[in-house]
Structure 1
């Protein structure tokens, strides 16, 4: 706890300084704003704030607060809070699980697969499938799935405004993509295996963990 508190104190000081520098830059610009410099400074503040938030969540957990309480504060489910900040132990090895996302292009690849599936370009979509999905995700399965979604929320109208949410869950890289339908919102979920092949593709309710 002492190490965590010390790190949090140090990061909080750095965050305050970065925020102060950003505010000064915003207030002292002359002529044409140096937009890229503001982007750079803002990104630094955002990254530092993320580190501070991570340590604050860690201290809250150490103090006995539940993932439900933390999720409620962050406006997400307890599972989403755990997936972002938790430190799961791999039951196979007893070691902390690697949560690092190694697929740099996971969001772009997931978006391309979802577009191909929704627009019927299955020959192209299947190039990304692993053997299990290639066998299971037939044209009939696709049609039945899309019909079920249409029955729930109507016709597909486009992709949502939010950015794809990428994270590592176990051995998989998982991407959630917001979707807009005529009578409600949904999200597409694409899971990639360790070979970076599609191991699962779903259309889910937006609140699904």
Structure 2
């Protein structure tokens, strides 16, 4: 048995044990359970389940299955599957790339920046731009971009349901924010560089990888 298989077997056993304990914590019909404790235990189980899923994906890749097959099974694109589970090697160093999100407030900052851009408060938004974006993101570029989106899906109505999706891609922290328009949904994408400045800001179709 490989080290990966051993780890997977151990995790599955622990997951089964935690699930059994959670089921036993539900309490009798006349004795309400400690609900916050159930939330804590469920969170622990979800974390273990994510580890199991990652190991299963790793074993599927080791067995020769493609990211397309894995993405199809999970209902996402092959790129999304790779971004979630892949282990890219940095061509500059030959070392595994760091996928840890270090910006604790990335989602909140991205929402504030997108809101400022959509509402025309560009002086406020530009304080977060890096040098390249500051030079390129003129009022004309903003106006043309918003006009193009309006031509596709109508007027902006607000943020759509769903939390911002934050991940690390290469040297950038990337945040996708669901947006709601009168004739369809879109998403804003904000990319922060290593200095935590905006290195890119786009409005995209919701299924854009």
| TM-score exceeds 0.5 | yes
Do 2:185 and 2:205's aligned partners in 1 also have CA atoms closer than 8 Å?
yes
* 5+ residue gaps, structure 1: none
> Is 1:166 paired with 2:166?
yes
**Equivalent residue number for residue 148 of structure 1:** 148
Distance 2:30 2:69 in 1: 45
Distance 1:155 1:27 in 2: 50
Distance 1:134 1:92 in 2: 28
Distance 1:27 1:196 in 2: 47
Residue correspondence of structure 1 range 44-83 to structure 2 within 5 A: 44-83=44-83
**TM-score, length-scaled by structure 1:** 0.96
Residue 87 of structure 1 aligns to a residue whose secondary structure is: coil
**Equivalent residue number for residue 181 of structure 1:** 181
User: Structure 1 residue 162: deviation in Å?
Assistant: 1.1
Residue 9 of structure 2 aligns to a residue whose secondary structure is: helix
Distance 1:138 1:104 in 2: 29
Residue correspondence of structure 1 range 1-209 to structure 2 within 5 A: 2-28=2-28, 31=31, 33-209=33-209
Distance 2:138 2:34 in 1: 52
User: Structure 1 residue 190: deviation in Å?
Assistant: 0.3
Distance 2:208 2:30 in 1: 48
User: Structure 1 residue 13: deviation in Å?
Assistant: 0.8
User: Structure 1 residue 119: deviation in Å?
Assistant: 1.1
Q: Which string of whole-angstrom CA distances, capped at 9 and with x for unpartnered residues, describes residues 124-147 of structure 1? A: 111111111111111111111011
- Higher mean alpha-carbon deviation, 151-160 vs 32-41, is at 32-41
Distance 1:33 1:157 in 2: 41
Paired residue total = 209
User: Structure 1 residue 95: deviation in Å?
Assistant: 0.9
Residue 97 of structure 1 aligns to a residue whose secondary structure is: coil
Distance 1:105 1:28 in 2: 42
